[in-house]
């Protein structure tokens, strides 16, 4: 009787358990408990769950991800301890017409770089920009998390959009152009429901900010180095593979790793920081907690994949004769909730969405509907890496952070449906 429960309900109840336990236990322990519960519930044996957790925790991808997260934390700490982070924020505030704009623009700027846990990079900047007393830790989480992902609908550096273009078999510029309005929708939602909760101090609209751009660019040089290395080194690797007709094997996060190391060196040298400061930043106790979270998140996703929970959700939807259009919306949403990453819901759900496409109609409206719903599931996922690390950074309450997210997410859903209906008429 226990295993007759629909897979979707099992997922929801497991997430509820994780959220409930998070009020009393560290989140990484809650996620490991979730691994055991969902694994056993989906028919895996205890040993299967343990093997999946151990295999994922020691995989190259997870270890590289943990290394990158550690470097992001160390770099953020060095920027903060040296005072350069405050200089970045102050220089941007002098350029910015409104302090609230600074709070949103920082994570949006970092969001152009699809780095794992990138919200952790911008979190200290949001913290430094939050001059108003009414900005609670939960509100800071929402600002940093929401605006960090506004580009993910169409920015061509994100793997999710690249894979979506491939699966739907459309020209990339067509899907990108169709999904740009989705970014406008979530941007508007973030301003209406999140940023509006921040009191804005008085500013001088007549102030001349033209001379303030150069100091901002100079102070953000370490971030620019990360971006340049991330894009440039990968481009070089791809070019060498193209010329030699033999792909060059390289770790997924190597270019990002190199960029972060160089950025740390720049910060240390420019601010004349000694080894004691570097050592203190490297061996901060909070880093261990964050690394444990990384291992727990990756392990949870591995157990979900091992248990084939998405396949069972797909079977449940077909068994209960859910209309194809509803499946195109629900399945990506569920996959986004389960995986907490765009390429996760695209890879898990879009092959079925493609199989359900009606003949003789434009693919674009259905692609926009599926991607928009998957995005909202991803943004509401309790295992989304950016949400987890942002909440941990600000020491915010897990459930209370969601009070700032459900309204913009609901707005984003209706915006997606409205665009789908418009595209069905005009395309």
- pLDDT tens digits for range 248-266: 556 667 887 888 899 899 9
Q: Quick check: helix, strand or coil at residue 61?
A: helix
- Whether residue 209 is contained in a domain is answered as no
Give the list of residues 6+ apart from residue 205 with CB closer than 8 angstroms, or none: 97
**CA-CA distance, 63 to 65, in Å (whole number)?**
5
**CA-CA distance, 30 to 18, in Å (whole number)?**
5
Give the list of residues 6+ apart from residue 31 with CB closer than 8 angstroms, or none: 18, 293, 296, 297, 299, 300, 383
Residue 54 neighbours by CB distance under 10 Å: 12
65 and 294 Cβ atoms separated by less than 8 Å: yes
Under DSSP, the state recorded for 74 is H
> Which backbone phi and psi does 292 adopt, to 5 degrees?
-60, -35
Give the list of residues 6+ apart from residue 380 with CB closer than 8 angstroms, or none: 336, 337, 402, 405, 406, 409
The tokens for 182 are 């989705």
Give the list of residues 6+ apart from residue 6 with CB closer than 8 angstroms, or none: 313, 316
Q: Quick check: helix, strand or coil at residue 172?
A: helix
- Whether residue 405 is contained in a domain is answered as yes
Q: Which of 176, 117, 110 is nearest to 148 (CA)?
A: 110
Q: Quick check: helix, strand or coil at residue 369?
A: helix
Q: Which of 255, 263, 293 is nearest to 385 (CA)?
A: 293
Nearest-10 Cα torsion for 258, 231, 364, 145: 50
Q: Which of 215, 240, 259 is nearest to 114 (CA)?
A: 259
39 and 48 Cβ atoms separated by less than 8 Å: yes
What total number of domains does the chain contain? 1
**CA-CA distance, 38 to 56, in Å (whole number)?**
16
- Whether residue 402 is contained in a domain is answered as yes
Query: Residue 337: in which H helix or E strand, if any?
Result: helix 324-339
pLDDT of 1 reads: 41
The tokens for 243 are 């010329």
233 and 92 Cβ atoms separated by less than 8 Å: no
259 and 110 Cβ atoms separated by less than 8 Å: no
Q: How many helices (H) and strands (E) does the chain have?
A: 22, 0
- Whether residue 43 is contained in a domain is answered as yes
Residues of the chain with confidence (pLDDT) below 70? 1-4, 19, 97, 113-117, 131-133, 157, 200-212, 241-252
pLDDT of 133 reads: 62
- Whether residue 335 is contained in a domain is answered as yes
Q: Which of 142, 234, 131 is nearest to 195 (CA)?
A: 142
pLDDT of 62 reads: 81
pLDDT of 291 reads: 82
- Whether residue 203 is contained in a domain is answered as no
293 and 28 Cβ atoms separated by less than 8 Å: yes
pLDDT of 3 reads: 47
- Whether residue 317 is contained in a domain is answered as yes
- Whether residue 301 is contained in a domain is answered as yes
Residue 40 belongs to domain spanning = 5-198+214-426
Residue 366 neighbours by CB distance under 10 Å: 23
């Amino acid at each position: 009787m226990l295993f007759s429960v629909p897979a979707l309900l099992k997922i929801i109840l497991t997430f509820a358990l994780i959220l409930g336990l998070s009020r009393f236990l560290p989140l990484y322990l809650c996620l490991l408990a979730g691994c055991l519960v969902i694994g056993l519930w989906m028919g895996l044996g205890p040993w299967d769950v343990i093997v999946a957790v151990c295999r994922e925790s020691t995989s190259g991808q997870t270890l590289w991800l943990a290394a990158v997260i550690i470097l992001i934390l160390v770099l953020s700490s060095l920027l903060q301890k040296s005072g350069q982070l405050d200089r970045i924020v102050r220089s941007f505030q002098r350029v910015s017409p409104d302090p609230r704009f600074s709070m949103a623009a920082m994570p949006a700027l970092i969001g152009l770089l699809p780095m794992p846990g990138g919200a952790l990079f911008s979190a200290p900047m949001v913290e430094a920009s939050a001059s108003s007393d009414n900005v609670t830790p939960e509100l800071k989480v929402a600002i940093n998390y929401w605006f960090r992902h506004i580009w993910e609908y169409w920015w061509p550096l994100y793997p999710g959009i690249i894979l979506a273009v491939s699966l739907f078999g459309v020209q990339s510029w067509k899907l990108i152009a169709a999904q740009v309005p989705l970014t406008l929708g979530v941007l508007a939602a973030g301003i209406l429901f999140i940023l509006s909760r921040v009191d804005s101090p008085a500013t001088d609209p007549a102030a001349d900010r033209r001379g303030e751009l150069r100091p901002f660019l100079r102070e953000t040089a370490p971030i620019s180095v990360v971006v340049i290395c991330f894009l440039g080194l990968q481009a070089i690797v791809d070019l060498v593979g193209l010329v030699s007709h033999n792909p060059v094997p390289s770790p997924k996060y190597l270019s990002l790793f190199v960029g972060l190391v160089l950025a740390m060196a720049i910060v240390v040298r420019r601010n004349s920081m000694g080894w004691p400061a570097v050592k203190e930043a490297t061996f901060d106790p909070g880093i261990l907690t964050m690394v444990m979270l990384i291992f727990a998140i990756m392990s949870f996703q591995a157990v979900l994949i091992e248990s084939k929970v998405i396949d069972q959700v797909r079977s449940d939807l077909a068994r209960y004769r859910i209309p194809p259009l509803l499946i195109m919306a629900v399945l990506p949403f569920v996959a986004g909730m389960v995986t907490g990453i765009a390429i996760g819901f695209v890879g898990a759900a879009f092959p079925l969405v493609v199989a359900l496409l009606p003949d003789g109609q434009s693919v674009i409206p259905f692609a926009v509907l599926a991607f928009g719903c998957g995005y909202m599931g991803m943004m509401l996922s309790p295992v989304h890496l950016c949400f987890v690390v942002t909440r941990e950074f600000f020491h915010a309450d897990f459930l209370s952070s969601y009070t700032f997210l459900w309204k913009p997410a609901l707005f984003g859903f209706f915006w997606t449906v409205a665009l789908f209906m418009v595209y069905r008429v005009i395309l």
